[in-house]
Amino acid sequence: MKTFHNPHHTLHQGQQEMFRGRLVPCHEVPARLDFVLTELQRRPLGALETPAVDDAALDAAIARVHSARYTQFLASAWDEWVAMDPANAQRDALPSVWPLGNRHAFRTDALPRNFAARLGLFAFDSGSPLMAGTWAAARGGAACALAAAHEVLGGARSAFALTRPPGHHAGSDFLGGYCFLNNAAIAAQALRDGGQQRVAVLDVDYHHGNGTQTIFYERADVLTVSIHGDPATEYPFFLGHADERGAGAGEGFNLNLPLPRGTNFATWRAALGQALDAVTAFRADALVVPMGLDTFEGDPISGFTLQSADYFAVGEALAGAGLPTVFTFEGGYAVDAVGTNAVNLLEGFQR
């Protein structure tokens, strides 16, 4: 399979994330992607390319998933942050005020002129620092997702969008969980727009893919399935429960398989079987796999116990669906193992 990697990813390089009242070093670091790239050079799965970018086509693909007011916000966010205070040029932008999901009837239609307020409007956590290069890096990642979708539309069995920042927590008009543009959703929508009638998204990241679920929640043409840590105790906490089944036309087209912290590979693998059964029953024409490697036992912020060798079996099981497949790179914070684990999964898929 071809890998499309993001040449602009290092432009996004957060200093600190807010965690329980303290600023701590970011987990989502550039070395994550570099380790995967190095492993792909050591164990090649196919060509390594950077995507050829047609700016108009890329903007159109992003606009199929994200709202105009959100992408406009992202595009000018850094300049506005610095305009608030020239000293801000030295620090990442993090939000500190939120409209609480409108539960208290705060207005979210009227855009505040104050940038700090707008940052809070569009961000659901304070763990996702935004800096000068965030927009360029996120756009470069979306270009990888789009190129991978086109590769599969052109007849390839699979393609890998090796991107960071990750994407599956980003919604049509929100960022969070280290994510700004939803690469997997952009790939899924591009597959739909390229003529695939039914597209399934099977998210194997440790954390629930709340952005992707929200984007497709009322649609019957894109099935969203996620296997993840139970939101009762695990991030992102406020979505990802088993009773979220989709709404309206999308009723029955979202499947959440939450598992308790501490879950081992045998139990996780059984959930993957259930997820794949749902993909088969849906009669999907194509598959998108938001590939998080934070299910690994050594992950510093997650709670499952998968071992490096298990990822071969994950890849093999995913290949069993027999579908053209786009992989996007999501979480995985045991940095020195993330390359091995990612390539194990992809190699297992190609066996």
169 catalytic? Reply is: yes
Among 35, 73, 122, 206, binds Zn ion (CB under 5 A): 206
CB atoms within 10 A of CB 200: 28
301 is a contact residue toward ligand Q9C (CB under 6 A): yes
CA of 69: how far to CAs of 95, 108, 169, 346, in Å? Answer: 17, 12, 18, 36
Report how far apart, in Å, the C-alpha atoms of 344 and of each of 4, 90, 202, 293 are.
Answer: 18, 39, 18, 11
Give the pair of three-digit tokens for residue 289: 């796999």
Q: From 2-10, 57-65, 101-109, 162-170, give the range in contact with ligand Q9C by CB under 6 A.
A: 162-170
Q: Please answer whether residues 311 and 281 qualify as being in contact, where contact means their C-beta atoms are separated by less than 8 angstroms.
A: no
Q: According to CB under 6 A, which residues from 104 to 133 bind ligand Q9C?
A: 127
Which residues inside 236-295 make contact with Zn ion, applying CB under 5 A? Answer: 292, 294
Tell me which of 51, 95, 303, 331 binds Zn ion, using CB under 5 A: 331
Instruction: Answer for the pair 259, 232: CB distance below 8 angstroms, yes or no.
Output: no
Contact pick of 160, 178, 180, 268 for ligand Q9C (by CB under 6 A): 178
Tell me the backbone φ, ψ of residue 202, rounded to 5 degrees. Answer: -120, 105
Q: Which one is catalytic: 12, 27, 169, 228?
A: 169
Distance, in Å, from the CA atom of 199 to the CA atom of 27, rounded to the nearest integer, reads 31
Q: Are 305 and 264 in contact (CB under 8 A)?
A: yes
Residues near ligand Q9C (CB under 6 A), total: 16
Selected range binding ligand Q9C among 46-54, 70-78, 94-102, 176-184, rule: CB under 6 A: 176-184
Nearer to ligand Q9C, 250 or 331 (CB): 331
Residues with catalytic roles? 169
Q: What is the binding site for ligand Q9C (CB under 6 A)? A: 19, 127, 166, 168-169, 177-179, 205, 207, 235, 292, 294, 301, 330-331
